[in-house]
Every structure is written in structure tokens, then in C-alpha cells.
Amino acid sequence: MKANTGYVYDERYLKHEPGGYHPERPDRLRAIQQRVISSGLIDELVLIQPYEAPLDRITRLHDPDYLERFRLACEKKMRIFQSPDNGICADSYAIALLAVGGVLAACDAVMTGKAHNAFCAVRPPGHHAEHAQAMGFCFFNNIAIGARYLQDKYGLKRIAILDWDVHHGNGTQHLFETDPTVFYISLHQDPFTCYPGTGRQSEQGKGAGLGFTLNFPLPRGSGDKTYLKTIQEGVIPALVAFHPDFLMISSGFDAHADDPLAHMELSRDGYAHMGRLMAAFAQEHCNSRIITVLEGGYNLEVLQECVEDHLRILQGISDS
């Protein structure tokens, strides 16, 4: 019996326009939605309606003045906010709130039993966004805000976030590096050869959070064998020791060999194998509770294939 897998998508996500030649373009989500429809998956998924996240959810992790600066930049129809990578338009602030709200709606769906698990096809992405800094196409840290929401609203004690985007999630690490209740694990291209230049093995958290950040910087050109060995021998034992109540995945599909923004060699099969390993972990250790949030991935065909595979893997998690 297939799991009730939730799917977050909204055409309004296409309204965020970072610029004509920007890699993080609306066509990314158009491609995913086209595949979800053409594959027939749309009829099998629990469709989850996102909403604009309330500001008090955003300010749980982001500086209120930062939110206001972002809002005003969009209101004034500026084209860039804080970083040349962070193109914006008049709608970007509202759509960034909607991206967070998509993850919150997925959390509600899973925690109330509407869905067993969920995939969030949201944009703009979030894992580079720090407390008061937009970076790397990201404005609000969608997955981090979702993790704190699960703790605040549903009383969960321990949240694990696995980030396999090819770029290190400096924002998620930054927001939780002193927090022992959120375990952040990242597999990414070596920071000496890849943006944003963070995520060394020596970065393990601070203060009470020391030991609850785990980075696996992988050599340029790493492929399926290296990734899967790292998951099996590094990630899963660390997660088992942490005993998370809920697993969240920051899923960038930009470590694929055909992605234009990085230099790794993961295949479609490699991504699917990683997904199956993490689904099995969630089923055994997290009461099958898992939410995946889209981050990077800039080859449209790769996005279509890998998201379809991942949705089918989530459907295969039995309710425990």
C-alpha cells in the first residue's frame, strides 16, 4: 500500500523573477510540475496548499529589520537584494513568505496525519539564508523555519536536517550551530572549490551545539560510490545516535553530473539510492516522518527525473 505522500506546489511560486538569465528561474518548478502531471503522480499525491507564513514564524529565526529591508526593496522594485546572486522583483517578498508557508503546511499535514510524508516544490530556496543575510538565491531559510515550527507547535524534541545540495547550507548551519536539538548534516562539494566556501569538517557547532553539526566536504568529481559510502558509514550512524523525532532533507539535485553549477558526478540512480536509504531510516527511527524541501538543481531534465523518483520513494514508505 502506497503512503499518502504530500506535495506542495503553487503557481504563485513562478512569480518570483530573479532575472532573465538567473539559474534559479521559474522554469525549474514548471518542469517539476509538468513531470508530476505527465507521470500521473498528480492523481496519487496529497496536494498541500501553501500559505504566506506569518511574520512571527519568520522572525523566530530571522532579524525583523532584515524582513523589513527585504519588503521595502521589493516594494521599491529594486532588482537585487544584499547580494548580486539575489535577484528580486516586486513579488519576491510575498513569494518568499509563501515558500516558508509551503513547508509549514507540509509540517501540519504530516503531524496531523493528512499525509505520511511530503515533498515541497517551493522557491525561492532557503538553505543559504542566514539570520540577517540573503545569500545564494535564498532569502528565508525555509527548512530551518520548518524545523523550529515542528518544535514550537508540536513539541518535538530532536529534528535532523540532512542537506545533500552540492553547496553547503551555510544558513542552516549558522541558525542552529549553538542548538543541540537540531542536528544539521551536510554532504557538499569541498568548500575550497565551491560556493559558499563553508562546511569544513572542523565546523562542528558551537557552545551547547558542539557536535550537532556534521559536515562531509567531498572532493570535486565525487560520484555515487563516494556519496553512498558517506551516507551509509557516516550519516546514518550519526543519525541513529541522535534519535531524531523527525527527518528533514534539504534536497538540491545539483550534485548531478549534468548540473551546470557544480562539479560532482552523482547520477539519477545515485540520488534514488540515497533517497531509499533515508526513507528506510525514517521508517525505522522517525515513525516514517520525513519532509523533503527543494533547494538547488538547475538542469531541468535532471530535476524532473530526480523529483519523480524521490516522490515515488516517499510513496513507498509504509505507515508505521
In the DSSP assignment, the letter for residue 234 is I
Q: Which amino acid is at 94?
A: A
**Which secondary structure element, helix H or strand E, spans residue 302, and what is its range?**
helix 300-315
Burial degree of 125 (CB within 10 A; 0-12, 13-18, 19+): buried
Q: Smallest Cα–Cα separation from 213: which of 229, 191, 198?
A: 198
**Dist CA 42 CA 216 (whole Å):** 35
**Dist CA 272 CA 276 (whole Å):** 6
Choosing from 116, 127, 128, 168, the catalytic residue is 128
Q: Is 116 noted as a catalytic residue in this protein?
A: no
Check the CA dihedral 212-138-103-119 and report its sign: negative
Q: How many CB atoms lie within 10 A of CB 22?
A: 15
> Quick one: residue 197, left, alpha or beta (phi over 0 = left, psi -120 to 50 = alpha)?
left
Cβ-contact 139, 126 below 8 angstroms: yes
Nine-digit cell string for 65 = 529589520
Strands 46-48 and 5-8: parallel
* Cα-based distances in Å from 93 to 72, 99, 285: 9, 10, 37
Q: What is the dihedral of CA 174, 153, 311, 88, to 10 degrees?
A: -50
Q: Supply the residues annotated as catalytic.
A: 128
